[in-house]
Amino acid sequence: MSTQSDDGRELTFGAAIREALAEELRRDPTVFIIGEDVAEAGTPFKVLQGLVDEFGPERIIDSPISEAGITGIGVGAAMTGMRPVVDIMFGDFVPLTMEQMVNQAAKVHYMSGGKLRVPMVLRTTLGATRRSAAQHSQSLHALLSHIPGLKVAVPSTPYDAKGLLKTAIRDNNPVAFFEDKMMYQLKGPVPEDEYTIPFGVADIKRQGRDITIVATSSMVHVALGAAERLESAGISAEVIDPRTTSPLDRNTLIESAIKTSRAIVVDEGYERYGVTAEIASVIADGAFYYLDAPVKRMGAMDVPVPFSPALEDLTVPTVDTVAETAKSLCGRT
């Protein structure tokens, strides 16, 4: 489990994000937030509500609806002494920022021979089942995880969200930070004391012996639900959250698969060429001689996310489908 000091305080995922931002805004005057409706509106998810009251419109900046432009300004500001947090309301709008993220932010440090750097955070969302249809429901973190020079965080709990976001803001590289919008109301322990969580360190969310379920973001909760169900079927599942897809904690994933000899990777991005493919490959390569079954991948169905609830729910992994897949892998159909 997480190495957290539990003082009994609980926060929602959204409040943990807000607290991380507020603490870093207080700590470092070069930190600022720029995005659409981030100030008085506090974003449509109300995650940033109240920040403008404390830090003012000079640091919590409402921008035009110009994702590429604010990302580009973020890159330039980061190169010249600021630490921008660029707010991209929906992950589906990340493609609008891709030139600036992929060709500029990710490459400036390398192309300049290490002289320039881009300490910037791009905060955005992922996750389906909000009945928001194909352009407000995607989980596109794999696109950015693909790019050398970028780091990508996909927190699953309020505790991780706060600690990882503070690390992201202090990192000297461009970091894409993906929050599942379905988790903003999720409550969990977040101690009062200051802490950060390093990137590239997976967290074992549940210990187990028979099968490893690697899961990201809200899929961690799906995996934990499946693990409970599996326990009643006599299967002990270990749930591992990589917490960052780039850098990726390969060792923890491989060690767990070596221990359990079976692995499923669950992620809400499209399955094809996705995060599940990368992680499954890492496990297959690193634990090959210890595996009793092929590594199984469970991503979002390779279709645009449909609007109709009757259809949308079919497209993402659920407790049912993960538990059934795990049973099947363990030979308990």
* Footprint on this chain of another protein (rule: CB under 8 A): 30, 32, 58, 63-64, 66, 68-82, 84, 99-100, 103-104, 108-117, 119, 148-149, 151, 172-173
Identified catalytic residue from 109, 136, 141, 221: 136
Q: Which is nearer to another protein, 122 or 215 (CB)?
A: 122
Q: Report whether 2 contacts 159 (CB < 8 A).
A: yes
SS3 245: strand
Residue 116: which of 172, 177, 176 has the closest Cα? 172
Least separation, in Å, of the C-beta of 63 and another protein? 7
Q: Which is nearer to another protein, 63 or 129 (CB)?
A: 63
Q: Report whether 88 contacts 35 (CB < 8 A).
A: yes
Q: Which is nearer to another protein, 8 or 64 (CB)?
A: 64
State how far the alpha carbon of 129 is from the alpha carbons of 52, 137, 166, 310, in Å.
30, 7, 28, 10
By CB neighbour count within 10 A (0-12 exposed, 13-18 middle, 19+ buried), where does 6 fall? exposed
Q: Which is nearer to another protein, 18 or 109 (CB)?
A: 109
Q: Which is nearer to another protein, 118 or 287 (CB)?
A: 118
Least separation, in Å, of the C-beta of 50 and another protein? 22
Sheet with 121-126: strands ordered across: 60-62, 31-35, 83-87, 121-126, 175-180, 151-153, 244-246
SS3 67: helix
Q: Which is nearer to another protein, 52 or 283 (CB)?
A: 52
Least separation, in Å, of the C-beta of 223 and another protein? 29
Contacts of 236 (CB under 8 A, 6+ apart): 208, 209, 210, 211, 230
Q: Report whether 280 contacts 263 (CB < 8 A).
A: yes
Least separation, in Å, of the C-beta of 58 and another protein? 8
Q: Report whether 301 contacts 117 (CB < 8 A).
A: no
**Residue 136 a catalytic site member:** yes
Least separation, in Å, of the C-beta of 247 and another protein? 8
Residue 119: which of 134, 133, 109, 132 has the closest Cα? 109
Least separation, in Å, of the C-beta of 28 and another protein? 13
The catalytic site residues sit at: 136
